[in-house]
């Protein structure tokens, strides 16, 4: 039985100050485990995110025949089976709350000639899977699901997977990655066209493990080509800090007067940093120091200071680089002077919750004037702290819960959430980390409601 975990966030008596490391990047953590399982040899991973979502991926790769061993905090070893070498699982693969794990794994399973079944928690079972299963069917795989393509999902993988050619109708790194993972075990070249650039961790990691991947810009579109059935060789992976997790500490530091926070070892892939771009446009003081490259990914330290914000229009084509950060951006917009328009947020309707409607409800309950017009979120700020004071319904969505708690750190009255238990799926230790930044004389800013 699920036990609710209500929390409340209040204004701290002192600024947020300190240096912190956020958990490892969730997208890269999922992929490191998957590519390690598809490579020959032993891959060592450091900095792996050990939230529930990623642990589900580790369990799934183990169930498919890879040896997956934890040596210590964030330190893992994966002994892979080679491309096409995974084996039929003995039981249903439970992906918990992770849409990324489920969709990417569908691509792997589609190209292996055995039977498998995936399920997930109540939230994941509501999320659409046909966006990946429909194009994957062209490989020769067969899928059987609940109405609307929802989990549980039964998969009969292709005997001899065909290479894929597909134009992704809407920007989705998950769909692109699923098709590339399927194409790994297909003889020939898989070509994926995306209408605009989405996070390219899969392409970077494929090259890191030895696959041949090319990217061609044709007008506004990108065409990614993968030569199938490569020999993937084990390659160590250093997982940088997750920018989607860093978003909460960064926005809190911008909003709480007097704050200065340094986030070290942070992944700064430009296809993931739309939030930081937007905050700078709003006038936030964000500086990158110690920039470097690790494992094909740009990394650095982000220094964030408190300051006033002004409203901006966030273009629709920025959405792929910050799709998970819109709830906490909306919180920042509530403190800005003027009307912020976040355009083209259709994809938010099919996240862990209907994040578009839930984000608007979060703000409205705490005294912020907000509208949804079509797929656009409009937040009317007046440069002052919102009233706060509400209990926010989180809809089993970790990012809504964290965004509401960030709001409570700077609103006039405390903000509570009905259930924060799902935060650990992506950000284990979130509450302790945030409270550790508060010089509150031992009084936590976030505590049980």
Residues that are catalytic: 324
DSSP-derived letter for residue 365 is: H
Within 8 A by CB and 6+ apart from 384, the residues are: 335
**Strand order, beta sheet including 369-373:** 313-314, 337-342, 376-382, 369-373
**388 three-state secondary structure:** strand
The beta-strand segments (E) located in 255-331 are 260-267, 285-294, 297-305, 313-314
Lookup result for tokens 């930044």:
437
d(CA 288, CA 419): 34
Give the residue from 254, 230, 220, 428 showing the smallest Cα distance to 329.
254
Peptide bond before residue 295 is cis, with ω within 30 degrees of 0: no
- The helix-helix angle for 26-38 and 99-110 (nearest 10°) equals 20
Paired tokens of 339: 């009307």
Neighbours of 245 (CB within 10 A): 28
Q: Which of 136, 269, 264, 142 is nearest to 202 (CA)?
A: 269
Task: Locate 214 and state its tokens.
Answer: 């090319």
Distances (CA, A) of 408 to 7, 143, 188, 189, 340: 10, 44, 53, 51, 20
Q: Say which residues have a Cβ less than 8 Å from residue 37's Cβ, sequence separation at least 6.
A: 61, 64, 65, 66, 68, 78, 80, 81, 86
Residue 182 near residue 108, CB atoms below 8 Å: yes
């Amino acid at each position: 039985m699920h036990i609710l975990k209500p929390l409340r966030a209040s204004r701290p008596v002192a600024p947020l100050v300190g240096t912190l490391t956020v958990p490892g990047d969730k997208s890269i953590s999922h992929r490191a485990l998957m590519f390690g399982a598809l490579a020959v040899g032993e891959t060592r991973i450091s900095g792996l995110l050990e939230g529930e979502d990623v642990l589900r991926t580790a369990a799934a790769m183990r169930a498919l025949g890879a040896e997956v061993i934890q040596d210590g905090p964030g330190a893992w070893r994966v002994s892979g089976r080679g491309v096409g070498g995974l084996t039929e699982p003995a039981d249903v693969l439970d992906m918990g709350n992770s849409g990324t794990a489920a969709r990417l794994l569908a691509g792997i399973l589609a190209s292996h000639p055995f039977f498998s079944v995936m399920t997930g928690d109540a939230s994941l079972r509501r999320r659409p899977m046909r966006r990946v299963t429909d194009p994957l069917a062209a490989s020769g795989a067969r899928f059987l699901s609940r109405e609307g393509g929802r989990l549980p999902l039964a998969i009969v993988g292709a005997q001899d997977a065909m290479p894929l050619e597909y134009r992704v109708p809407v920007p989705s790194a998950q769909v692109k990655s699923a098709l590339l993972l399927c194409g790994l075990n297909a003889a020939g070249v898989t070509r994926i066209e995306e209408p605009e650039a989405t996070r390219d961790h899969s392409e970077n990691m494929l090259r890191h493990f030895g696959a041949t991947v090319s990217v061609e810009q044709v007008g506004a579109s990108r065409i990614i080509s993968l030569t199938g059935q490569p020999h993937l060789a084990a390659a160590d992976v250093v997982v940088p800090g997750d920018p989607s997790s860093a978003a909460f500490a960064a926005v809190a530091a911008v909003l709480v007067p007097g704050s200065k926070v340094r986030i070290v070892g942070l992944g700064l892939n430009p296809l993931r940093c739309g939030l930081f771009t937007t905050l700078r446009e709003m006038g936030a003081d964000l500086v990158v120091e110690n920039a470097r490259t690790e494992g094909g990914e740009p990394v650095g330290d982000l220094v964030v200071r408190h300051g006033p914000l002004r409203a901006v229009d966030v273009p629709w084509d920025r959405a792929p680089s910050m799709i998970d950060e819109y709830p906490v951006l909306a919180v920042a917009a509530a403190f800005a002077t003027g009307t912020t328009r976040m355009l083209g947020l259709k994809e938010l309707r099919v996240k862990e919750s209907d994040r578009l409607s839930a984000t608007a409800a979060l703000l409205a309950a705490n005294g912020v004037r907000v509208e949804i017009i079509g797929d656009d979120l409009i937040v009317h700020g007046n440069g002052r702290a919102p009233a706060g004071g509400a209990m926010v319904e989180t809809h089993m969505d970790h990012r809504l819960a964290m965004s509401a708690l960030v709001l409570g750190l700077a609103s006039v009255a405390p903000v509570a959430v009905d259930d924060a238990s799902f935060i650990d799926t992506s950000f284990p230790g979130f509450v302790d980390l945030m409270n550790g930044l508060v010089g509150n004389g031992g009084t936590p800013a976030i505590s049980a409601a």
